[in-house]
Chain A
Amino acid sequence: MTLLSVNGVTKRYGGLTAVDDVSFDIVAGELVGLIGPNGSGKTTLLNILSGLATADAGEILLADIPCQRLTPEQLAHRGVMRMFQLTRVFRRMNVIDNLLVAGRALGLDHGEALTRAHALISELRLDAVAALDAGQLSGGQMKLLEFGVCFMVPPRIALLDEPFAAVHPTMKEIMGAFIRARHAKGQTFILVSHDMPVVVELCPRAICMNAGAVVIDATTREVLNDARVIEAYLGGHAA
């Protein structure tokens, strides 16, 4: 069953076409890698999918319902969760409260939210820092906390923007395990990453973008061996 359907989505900034007629479908339970050189439009696409930017043209269907005009908070309620490349947490609130915000906002009662928060804290190995304000955590711990915030109420689709960038290897392992475990239980993901070994390891399917357009959408192995993809990364006209 198609969960997310992107049809002809286009976004222009002045003379620059950041996203150019992009179309693809994602089936429930898939873990799709979204790759491409810097400036190829991956983050802009995620911004559109998560409601932070509006497309100039095209249509986005979430379980057959159009959702390109919805705000980020409305999309959150419909099960679209976005993780940012530059980690965003509530810096002056402690780790548990950070998790409770998402839980309560998405309709859990206090007891249920607290139970889930504790479960996520031990799964993400944040026990030792649970009482600290998020602003006092290390970069990797903040990233783990953001994972937790996104999965307080498991979303229908999780959009992860470079979760592994500049993160300590141990943290990377915890995150990888977290994604694999969720995927095994049927969680749908789009994973934007520059880290090709991670994409190969985690994602059966990959979409490569360049200069705003989709270059190829196939199995990860095919994508990485495609001449156009190699061209995009090595010679690419996208700065």
Chain B
Amino acid sequence: MSAINVDLAVNGFITGLFYALMAIGLSLIFGILKIVNFAHGEFYMVGAYAYTLVALAFGVPVWVALPIAFLVGALVGWATERTLMRPLYAGYTSWGLMRDEYAVIVTFGLSLFLINLVDKVIGPYAYRGPPLVETSRVVLGPVLISGHRLLAAGIAIAVILITAALIKWSFWGQQIRAVSQNRLGASLAGIDTAKASAIVFMLSGGLAAFAGALLSPVINASPDVGIFPAVKSYIIVVLGGMGSVPGAIVASLLLGVIESFGAVYLSYQYRDAFGLILLMLFLLFRPQGLFGEKGREV
């Protein structure tokens, strides 16, 4: 493999890690409520601002600002679940709107609301987040990478592993998976499904915000900064199979690498269209994603 290809692969992989932070949360939300959260990008945006502003305005050290961003994202996620998601539990929210419509409208509306609120309150200008380290270039064989990006990638790996372990082995992780498989069955077995949903939204909000914070030195915080990563995470949850967390992680890394090569070898102008075309093709011809088996309809 030539030097440029190694560089493309490594950088694509790192981009994929950041995608995964976004996509895991979106996938968990789809799993537990069977909806797509169209405000997911704004969780990311909130994190980018939280990190940047507490670090710049209050001089908080970056290593404290990072967990603060996670907490702020978790808080926004929790508030979203509390105020807007509860009607979804009932199936038909009323004879005014059905469940799916309600979910699209309300999350879409929330997204517009948060973007424009930040635009008015903080302003439309981009804020650059302080990098974790100032080293501008690290040379690893043929790969050139900034110190911040390398460190952020390491942190992302750690967070993804911890999250995956929590979902797999922790008490609430197991409850969440039970609710995702069968909400009615889980509630009959005594699981607090409302609490499980709240936890999922907190985790999703926190992870997306964390991604926003980690990337803010590279992609600066601005009101609509979340749209781009949100679109990526829609593509990923479709490729990985809607609701599957392992699928989302693998698909994230895959998409990162594909885009990295595609931008160089296919077309730079249309690099953002590849994933979207994949998304459409998958939903039309293979809705279960790359790895899922086609379920039997009962």
Residues of A within 8 A of B (CB): 13-14, 91-92, 133, 135-136
Contacts and interface: CB of A to CB of B under 8 A. Distances in A.
Contacts of A135: 92, 95
A91 B95 contact: yes
B95 A136 contact: yes
A93 B68 CA distance: 49
A68 B83 CA distance: 49
B92 A91 contact: yes
Nearest to B293: A14
Contacts of A91: 92, 95
Contacts of A133: 95
A135 B96 CA distance: 11
B120 interface: no
Contacts of B92: 91, 135
A124 B95 CA distance: 24
A104 B252 CA distance: 50
Interface in B271-298: 296
A92 B95 contact: yes
Nearest to B296: A13
Nearest to A16: B296
A14 B297 CA distance: 12
A91 B97 CA distance: 11
Nearest to A44: B298
Interface of A is mostly: mixed
Interface centre among A13, A92, A133, A135 (most CB of B within 10 A): A92
A200 to B, nearest CB: 30
Contacts of B95: 91-92, 133, 135-136
A201 to B, nearest CB: 31
A95 to B, nearest CB: 13
Nearest to B97: A92
Nearest to A13: B296
A207 B95 CA distance: 40
Nearest to A92: B95
9 contacts: A13-B296, A14-B296, A91-B92, A91-B95, A92-B95, A133-B95, A135-B92, A135-B95, A136-B95
Contacts of A14: 296
Given A135-B95, A136-B95, 4 more contacts: A91-B92, A91-B95, A133-B95, A135-B92
B292 to A, nearest CB: 15
Interface in B93-116: 95
Contacts of B296: 13-14
A91 B96 CA distance: 10
A91 B95 CA distance: 7
A113 to B, nearest CB: 23
A136 B95 CA distance: 8
A14 B92 CA distance: 33
A115 B92 CA distance: 31
A13 B296 CA distance: 8
A13 B95 CA distance: 36
A133 B296 CA distance: 32
A102 to B, nearest CB: 20
B288 to A, nearest CB: 15
Nearest to A43: B298
B293 to A, nearest CB: 10
B176 to A, nearest CB: 27
A41 to B, nearest CB: 13
Interface pairs A-B: 7 shortest CB-CB: A92-B95, A135-B95, A133-B95, A13-B296, A91-B95, A135-B92, A91-B92
A133 to B, nearest CB: 5
A4 B95 CA distance: 39
Contacts of A92: 95
B101 to A, nearest CB: 11
A134 to B, nearest CB: 9
A93 to B, nearest CB: 9
A132 to B, nearest CB: 10
A53 to B, nearest CB: 9
A165 B251 CA distance: 45
Interface string B72-103: 00000000000000000000100100000000
Contacts of A136: 95
A91 B296 CA distance: 26
B93 to A, nearest CB: 11
Nearest to B297: A53
A133 B95 CA distance: 8
Contacts of A13: 296
